[in-house]
Amino acid sequence: MEKEVTSRNFIEQAIDKDLAEGVYDHVCTRFPPEPNGYLHIGHAKSILLNYGLARQYQGQFNLRFDDTNPTKEKTEFVESIKEDIQWLGADWKEHLYFASDYFEQMYEAAVKLIETGKAFVCDLTAEQIREYRGTLKEPGKESPYRNRSVEENLELFKRMKEGAYADGSKVLRARIDMASPNINMRDPVIYRVAHMTHHNTGDKWCIYPMYDFAHPIEDAIEGITHSICTLEFEDHRPLYDWVVREVGFKMPPRQIEFAKLYLTNVVTGKRYIKKLVEEGIVDGWDDPRLVSIAALRRRGFTPESIKLFVELCGVSKAQSSVDYAMLEYCIREDLKLKAPRMMAVLKPVKLIIDNYPQGQTEELEVPNNLENPELGTRKVTFGRELYIEQDDFMEEPPRKYFRLFPGNEVRLMNAYFVTCTRFEKDEFGDITEIHCTYDPASKGGNSPDGRKVKGTIHWVEASTALKTQCRLYENIIDEDKGVYNEDGSLNLNPDSLTILKECMLESNFAGAKAYDKFQFVRNGFFCVDSNDSKPEDMVFNRIVSLKSSFKLPSQR
Ligand code: ATP
Ligand code: MG
């Protein structure tokens, strides 16, 4: 067990206490997704938290699909969820479970509650049950069916199971306290009739347990010690405890709640993402502008960056929203030493060196990452015709513009000093080519005689350049105006996707594969798109630009 006692979060403190007092002699946690959508960054927090605790206490981590609700669940999601959790590095080993495998035990638990007078079959309609429930200020009213005999309840519940009743005509309710100040304790429904096909159990069942009854039983069956969930379940905890106690489990799990992770101006709700997908605003659940795990992976985020992010967020009981810039900070931190820095021109214009020999090229040896010599060097082709960024030339420069303009000398990164001599324009006034001369004595980008140049620009040799598509992203929501418009619609940023189709990359990019990550010098970190990229027709996603205003609290 870890020695560090200083900055334990409240969950670790609770676990420490339980172990010290002998409430449990081990730790077992779980991640219990409902297979009704893709996982997002909020789920990543829950996964890494549960997995991290299990590891820290040398315990067990279970992945359990909470598939008790046959309406919304799809097997497709089971696979994607597994893939995402694996990618995050949370290893459930042999501990993969499905809540639907416990239906028999749940049924037996319900029978047991009936036998001890703790549950009854109720014929009130859903609407009546709601009316009888009361409000926060007023107590509820007891159901007229509350005092049915044990025998009658057992018989009715059996007939419910056998399919004798129509959906909605009968429910099984826990018999607790209609006057409880906690509405969840006012004889909650624990089973409903639903003639539906379940993805795992088929048509075997036509009664299904409700979440508040099923979840504690699932945890208890698996021997979960600490059932970690989000704050909205705090008011359900008394019911959770009631269920495990009344059903008679020997080692009741402890439910501990923490605050959900929210990102500022980012939508994570399944309902909204579904809408964005259906309306074709994004190109699927893994559109790189979204924050589903699949989208983050496709965009180029790494598991390490997400771990760092979750660690920086910490766990707390207070609801708060974290800035997206922190996620960007984490991927920059992770990639800055790992990713090779290569040259790519996003918006190219030709630069012609008039005094460089026609037809000649040369190979220049350049470092792959100035901050990390371990990444070695590579050879980059240089020649008479190059591409540079359109932004790196100005016909009439403002003050303090140190890049290329007529008469000015700059350094071509790792190559030579060049001086702009003239340029050409087309009939629209767009610059078509820029001419310059180079100083052969400045090879490697070093000044031959101590003369200084203020600007250094990157370039790509034209005859060997690889033409590719690059996609630049901005937040899908307009940050300044907030997530929703007054009419409740999403406030979309029209510039959330920019497609650049004529980008020119140095030839060393040949052979780059899906998910490969690079730093494009001066332009940001990029990742090969996993859906649309082909070897002869590469597509890159910008993960993040290089500059950030984000600072860790300790750096402010
Ligand atoms: P959503 O409605 O955002 O799609 P959900 O809560 O319906 O999510 P579940 O599959 O029920 O999705 O969630 C699985 C686990 O993930 C639960 O334990 C839940 O508390 C946790 N979880 C969901 N959203 C977040 C979040 N934003 N931050 C942290 N944990 C979360
Ligand atoms: Mg849910």
pLDDT tens per residue across span 135-163? 999 999 999 999 999 999 999 999 999 99
Across the range 217-242, mean pLDDT stands at: 98
Both 98 and 209 in a single domain? yes
Across the chain, mean pLDDT equals 95
- 368 and 236 belong to one structural domain: no
Q: What domain range includes position 100?
A: 10-258
Q: Quick check: is 445 in a domain?
A: yes
* Residue 51 and residue 187 in one domain: yes
pLDDT at residue 554, as a whole number: 67
Whether 75 and 170 map to the same domain: the answer is yes
Give the tokens for residue 84. Answer: 């995402």
| Span 286-328, pLDDT tens digits | 999 999 999 999 999 999 999 999 999 999 999 889 999 999 9
The percentage of the chain sitting over the pLDDT mark of 90, rounded to a whole number, equals 89
Q: How far is the CA of 182 from the centre of ligand 2 (A)?
A: 21
Q: Would 511 be classed as within a structural domain?
A: no
**Inside any domain, residue 545:** no
pLDDT of 167 above 90: yes
- How many Å lie between the centroid of ligand 1 and the Cα of residue 222? 20
CB 383 within 8 A of CB 360: yes
Residues recorded for the chain: 556
CATH code for the domain in which residue 60 is found: 3.40.50.620
Phi-psi region of 223 (alpha: psi -120 to 50; beta: other; left: phi over 0): left
Nearest to 288 by CA among 278, 279, 296: 296
Q: Tell me: the pLDDT tens digits for 37-60?
A: 899 999 999 999 999 999 999 999
- Whether residues 253 and 366 share a domain: the answer is no
Same domain? For 348 and 252 the reply is no
18 lies in some domain = yes
Which of 258, 279, 304 is where one domain is finished?
258
Report yes or no on 324 lying in a domain. no
pTM, to two decimals: 0.94
Q: Which atom of ligand 1 is nearest to the CA of 34?
A: 10
Are 229 and 360 contained in the same domain? Answer: no
End-to-end, the C-alpha distance of the chain in Å comes to: 34
Residue nearest ligand 1's atom 14 by CA:
33
Q: Tell me how far apart the alpha carbons of residues 554 and 86 are, in angstroms, rounded to a whole number.
A: 32
Residue 515 has pLDDT above 90, yes or no: yes
Task: Look at residue 555 and tell me whether its pLDDT is greater than 70.
Answer: no
Query: Which atom of ligand 1 is nearest the CA belonging to 35?
Result: 10
Q: How many domains does the chain have?
A: 2
**Beta sheet of 28-31, edge-to-edge order:** 28-31, 60-65, 96-98
Alpha-carbon distance 176 to 188, whole Å?
8
Decide: 415 and 461 in contact? Cβ < 8 Å: no
* Residue 208: per-residue pLDDT: 98
In a shared domain, residues 252 and 364: no
Q: Give the model's pLDDT for residue 61.
A: 98
Mean pLDDT, rounded, for 16-29: 98
**Contact yes or no for 161/206 (Cβ under 8 A):** yes
pLDDT on residue 115:
98
Instruction: Give the per-residue pLDDT at 5.
Output: 52
Angle formed at CA 383 by CA 382 and CA 386, multiple of 5 degrees: 90
Three-state DSSP class for residue 387:
strand
Give the Å distance between the CA of 103 and the centre of ligand 2: 19
Residue 289 lies in a domain: no
Give the Cα separation of 272 and 34 in Å (integer). Answer: 17
- Conformational region of residue 28, where left means phi above 0, alpha means psi within -120 to 50, and beta covers everything else: beta
Boundary residue ending a domain (242, 258, 274): 258
Residue 95: closest CA among 59, 49, 41: 59
* 281: number of Cβ within 10 Å: 15
pLDDT of residue 1: 45
Distance (angstroms) between ligand 2 centre and the Cα of 323 equals 24
| 26 and 159 fall within a common domain | yes
Atom 15 of ligand 1, residue of closest alpha carbon = 33
For residue 439, give Cα distances in angstroms to 5, 406, 410, 443, 486: 62, 16, 11, 8, 61
Residue 3 has pLDDT above 60, yes or no: no
Read off the pLDDT of residues 172-198 as tens digits, 9 standing for 90 and up.
999 999 999 999 999 999 999 999 999
* 33 Cα–ligand 2 center, Å: 7
Closest ligand 1 atom to Cα of 268: 3
Query: Residue 47 Cα, ligand 1 centroid: separation in angstroms?
Result: 10
pLDDT of 68-119, one tens digit each? Answer: 998 777 788 999 999 999 999 999 999 999 999 999 999 999 999 999 999 9
Cβ of 348: how many Cβ atoms within 10 Å? Answer: 21
Q: Of the residues 43, 226, 264, 313, which should be mutated to test ligand 1's pocket, given the most ligand atoms within 8 Å of the CB?
A: 43
Domain contains 331:
no
Confidence of residue 547 (pLDDT cuts 50, 70, 90): confident
pLDDT of residue 490: 83
Q: Which among 400, 425, 458 is the end of a domain? A: 458
pLDDT of residue 479: 74
321 falls within a domain = no
Q: What is the pLDDT of residue 289?
A: 95
Atom of ligand 1 nearest to the CA of 33: 10
* CATH assignment at residue 449: 2.40.240.10
Determine the average pLDDT of the residues in 329-347. 98
Residue 83's closest CA among 296, 283, 289, 263? 296
From the CA of 232, the nearest ligand is 1
As for ligand 1, residues whose beta carbon falls within 6 Å of it are 32-34, 37, 42-43, 45-46, 229-230, 260-261, 268-270
Task: Specify the 3-state DSSP secondary structure of 219.
Answer: helix
* Residue 2, pLDDT above cutoff 70: no
CB 343 within 8 A of CB 506: yes
Q: Are 246 and 352 part of one and the same domain?
A: no
| CA-262 nearest atom, ligand 1 | 27
pLDDT above 90 for 272: no
Distance from the alpha carbon of residue 77 to the mean position of ligand 1, in angstroms = 14
